[in-house]
Amino acid sequence: MTETTGAVAPGTLYIVSAPSGAGKTSLVKALLERVDGITVSVSHTTRSPRPGELNGSDYHFVDRTEFERLVAGGEFLEHAQVFGNYYGTCRATLLERLQAGEDVILEIDWQGARQVFEAFPQAVKVFILPPSREALHQRLTGRGQDSEAVIQRRMTDAVSEISHFDEYHYLIFNDDFPTALGELEALFRAQRLRSDAQRVRYAAELNGLLEPAV
C-alpha cells in the first residue's frame, strides 16, 4: 500500500535521557542512519565546544548573557543547569518540525524532561542505562578527556540521574550496542504504527475500505 500523498501525520516528540557515558549520543546517531524522518533538536548551551563540535550542528553555543536574554523572552520550552552550564530547547523550532511531520528527539536530562512533559504529555520518554557502575566508570575513563576529579563528579551526578529512571516510559540497557540499537529502532518503528498516526497517513485508503459495497 502506498502512503497517501500529502497526508502528514504530526511528528512524535521523544525525550531521551541518560547519565553521561551511557552511550546515548552514539545510539541516537546510529538510529538516524537506520530510520528516516527523525531529527535531533539542537539545544542552546553556555558551555564551551568540545573538540570536533560545531556551532549550529551539535549545539548553539552562546554566552550566559545571551542565554538569559532568551530565557527572559520565553524562547525556551525547557532549560536547566547541568555541570555548571546552562542548556535550553528552542520552542518555535521544535513545534515547526513536529507540525511538519518529523519525529524529534530531545537529548535532555531529567530536569528538562519534566518541563517538556508538562507541555507535551504525549511525548515518549526513553531512558538509556549502562549495564553497571563499573562499566560506566570505564567508559568515562576511556574518553581520556577528563581528570579523575571530573570523572568522580560525573559518576556522582550519574547516580542522581539514574534515580529518576522510573519517570520514563521505556528503559534500554546499553550493554551490547547492536542489541540496544535494535531495541531503540523497534520502539520508534512501533510508535509510527499507532492508530492515530496511521489514520492520518492512510486516510484515503481507510475511507475506501469503509465505503458501502456497491
What angle is formed at CA 112 by the lines to CA 38 and CA 19, rounded to 5 degrees? 80
Give pLDDT, residue 150.
82
Give pLDDT, residue 3.
46
Give pLDDT, residue 144.
61
Pairing state between β 44-45 and 170-173: unpaired
Residues of the chain predicted below pLDDT 70: 1-8, 143-146, 214
Phi, psi of 55 (to 5 degrees): -65, 130
Give pLDDT, residue 145.
67
pLDDT digits (tens, 9 = 90+) for 123-179: 999 999 999 999 988 888 876 666 778 888 889 989 999 999 999 999 999 999 999
Q: What is the 3-state secondary structure (H, E, C) of the chain?
A: CCCCCCCCCCCCEEEEECCCCCCHHHHHHHHHHHCCCEEECCCEECCCCCCCCCECCCEEECCHHHHHHHHHCCCEEEEEEECCEEEEEEHHHHHHHHHCCCEEEEECCHHHHHHHHHHCCCCEEEEEECCCHHHHHHHHHHCCCCCHHHHHHHHHHHHHHHCCHHHCCEEEECCCHHHHHHHHHHHHHHHCCCHHHHHHHCHHHHHHHHCCCC
How many CB atoms within 10 Å of residue 107?
A: 20
Phi, psi of 106 (to 5 degrees): -105, 115
CB 70 within 8 A of CB 44: yes
Measured distance CA(177)–CA(155) in Å, rounded: 21
| Residues facing 125 on adjacent strands | 15
pLDDT digits (tens, 9 = 90+) for 154-163: 899 899 999 9
